[in-house]
Structure 1
Amino acid sequence: MSVKLFDGIRKSLRVLGGESDALRLPLSSDVPKPCRIGLALGGGFARGLAHVGVLKALEGEGIVPDFIAGTSVGAVIGAAYCSGVSAKELEEIASIVRFKDFARYTISRFGLCTNDRMTGFLHRILKVKTFEELRIPLAVTATDFVTGEPVVFTSGDLIDPVRASCAYPGVFLPVGVKGKLMVDGLLGHAVPAQPLKQMGATRVAAIFFGAHWVQKSPRHVLEVIGQCFSIAQANMSCLWQQHADLLIEPDVRAFSFDDFQKALGIVNVGYEAGLKALPTFRAWAAEREAYEKYVRELKQAKATVSSIPIQEPVALA
């Protein structure tokens, strides 16, 4: 081997391994693993306003989920948050909203309330109209009334899937979406943890209310229906908890299903639960930042390598 060729190789190795900080990457065994955070918002009617409190805790820490999935009231709150409504704004909306603002009683064989006010309410609070415009990818779940199959919406029009997701059987009328009759997503995905994994989340936090129900005689039909759903949620928990890495359970036993007038108290319960979960979220956020930093450095290293001029090969002596 000629001296010229040896010197050329030695200089190349020095550039690639010693003199360029951009190329000082970790060994394969030290490479950070991808971390993408998903937040599953379950159903719960008025008690679901606790979701706002959890989002408030995360927002105060500067932690933004990579994906959100929502069922029933979780779909409404998730859609609003992903559209750009802050947790503070959601808390303000919650403090003034009442059942009559999104439901109008009607005489029907299929439900107590029409969906027109819910449609108007969603148009007022959502800052975008399609899934593609959302700042955070969102999955909204509903249930096919004919087949009983869970349906997950991630694209197209936003209003109708959200409206269908919170079409509480017996309370709201079923909703037609793309030629199919849909009812509340809670029947198929009590807490939508699985759709988050399908979207690409590697860490899933699930907010769940089903373990806490009102242990007293119901006052009206809404409490009867709500209690039944909470019991069903608790019984179905084994189906979705296998997809959740963190379970957040705000203790909402002091609140009824239609306690919208106690919204700030419900939000505060969610906030306290969110604060308790922050150590886990901080760890996940650190994992995510470590991987994103690695990806940035890898791109920089590739750019550095591609900029190194290739010299003509040196003939062997």
Structure 2
Amino acid sequence: MRRQMWGLRLRVLGKVLRSVKSLSRELARRQIAAPNSVPLPKIGIALGGGFARGIAHIGVLKVLEEENIPISFVAGTSVGALIGAIYCSGASAAEMEEIACRVRFRDFARWTISRYGFASNRRMAGLLNSVLKVKTFEELRIPLAVAATDFASGNGVIFRSGDLVETVRASCAYPGMFEPIRIDNKVLVDGMLAHPVPTKPLREMGAERVLAIHLKGRWDVGGVPRHLFDVIGQCFAIAQENSAALWRPWADLLIEPEVKAFKYDDFEHSCELVHAGEAAMRAGLADLRAWLNLLPAAGLPAAIPNPAAVPAD
């Protein structure tokens, strides 16, 4: 009985500490001010797709949190939509890192051959319901846009209202692997096909500066694919690179975590992926902070040059 009481107290204490961290992050976002009192630009962050490699997004968010960099808008595609939804619902980067380091493929999907895919991501609904602190876009602490692709027209579909769980599932409906998701009489598949890195939606939401997180796929010349999904993944990577001209002009700063060494399904290396995101974001911090006039340089640059954090063309 005494042991149960201690366990209950520890769980309550953990919730209190997480709430305090969340409140501190919210206050920092609202109260941080530039030394010369120049109004802060509204920063939007675009989280691209990349399956397991997308865990690197958590490392990026972790650094932004630690540096008290205020994020006004988030847009996500595929795994970027999943991570963006959890973050915007109020989870801290530390909480997300803890979840990521123990999540495996079986926690959000299962292999089951159907007419439309080799696996089902219905389990993702259970995972999201267990980690999301709210269930609709309207309840989010930070405005979020989730990108999916209309299978019939090929056009991008951007969600900013309504149910979170099903829209994130649609954004993550990786062709060939997961079944398409039907929402509002539309058959939807992975958002990477239309919005590899959803930068433009951030501008439409009101972002004055856009930070794009691009996860390059594996480009091992001469490498032999292990199976069908390596082939599909490489095709996605090729399409993403070839469509860069569509999304890069909307970005002010491009961060590319070093994730080439990781396979698309490397969930067992989640902690290393988080570290890769941290390293890439730290390399671009000086330029990002310049947007907030927190460095001696006056004014806000139109484009940010940095050899480590690639400037958008």
Q: TM-score range by the shorter chain?
A: 0.7 to 0.9
Equivalent in the alignment of 2:228: 221
Give, in angstroms, the shift of residue 131 of structure 1: 0.4
- The aligned runs of 1:73-84 (5 Å cut-off) are 73-84=79-90
- The aligned runs of 1:1-317 (5 Å cut-off) are 32=38, 35-210=41-216, 213-215=219-221, 216-286=223-293
Decide which structure has the larger Cα Rg and report it. 1
The farther-off stretch of 83-92 and 114-123 is 114-123
Q: Equivalents in 1 of 2:135, 2:233: separation in Å?
A: 29
Tell me the TM-score normalized by structure 1.
0.79
Amino acid of the residue matched to residue 269 of structure 1?
A
The farther-off stretch of 113-122 and 133-142 is 113-122
Q: Equivalents in 2 of 1:269, 1:146: separation in Å?
A: 36
1:255-277 per-residue CA deviation (whole Å, 9 max, x = no partner) reads 00000000111110110001111
Amino acid of the residue matched to residue 58 of structure 2?
V
Preserved CA contact (<8 Å) 2:48 2:213: yes
**Relative to 1, partners in 2 of residues 1:211 and 1:218: Cα closer, same or farther, differing over 3 Å?**
closer
Give, in angstroms, the shift of residue 115 of structure 1: 2.6
RMSD: 1.9
Preserved CA contact (<8 Å) 1:212 1:251: no
Preserved CA contact (<8 Å) 1:210 1:231: no
Give, in angstroms, the shift of residue 211 of structure 1: 6.4
Give, in angstroms, the shift of residue 104 of structure 1: 1.1
Identify the structure with the greater helix proportion. 1
**Relative to 1, partners in 2 of residues 1:231 and 1:177: Cα closer, same or farther, differing over 3 Å?**
same
Equivalent in the alignment of 2:6: none
Preserved CA contact (<8 Å) 2:217 2:234: no
Amino acid of the residue matched to residue 49 of structure 1?
I
SS at match of 2:169: helix
Equivalent in the alignment of 2:24: none
Q: Equivalents in 2 of 1:199, 1:228: separation in Å?
A: 30
Q: Equivalents in 2 of 1:34, 1:94: separation in Å?
A: 32
Give, in angstroms, the shift of residue 283 of structure 1: 1.8
**Relative to 1, partners in 2 of residues 1:143 and 1:197: Cα closer, same or farther, differing over 3 Å?**
same
Give, in angstroms, the shift of residue 209 of structure 1: 1.6
1:274-306 per-residue CA deviation (whole Å, 9 max, x = no partner) reads 11111122122337xx99xxxxxxxxxxxxxxx
SS at match of 2:149: strand
Tell me the TM-score normalized by structure 2.
0.80
**Relative to 1, partners in 2 of residues 1:127 and 1:228: Cα closer, same or farther, differing over 3 Å?**
same
SS at match of 2:284: helix
Percent identity between matched residues is: 58
Structure 2 unaligned residues grouped into runs of 5+: 1-35, 300-313
Q: Equivalents in 1 of 2:220, 2:290: separation in Å?
A: 34
SS at match of 1:88: helix
Preserved CA contact (<8 Å) 2:45 2:211: yes
Give, in angstroms, the shift of residue 91 of structure 1: 0.7
1:180-214 per-residue CA deviation (whole Å, 9 max, x = no partner) reads 11000000000000000000001001000236534
Amino acid of the residue matched to residue 205 of structure 2?
M
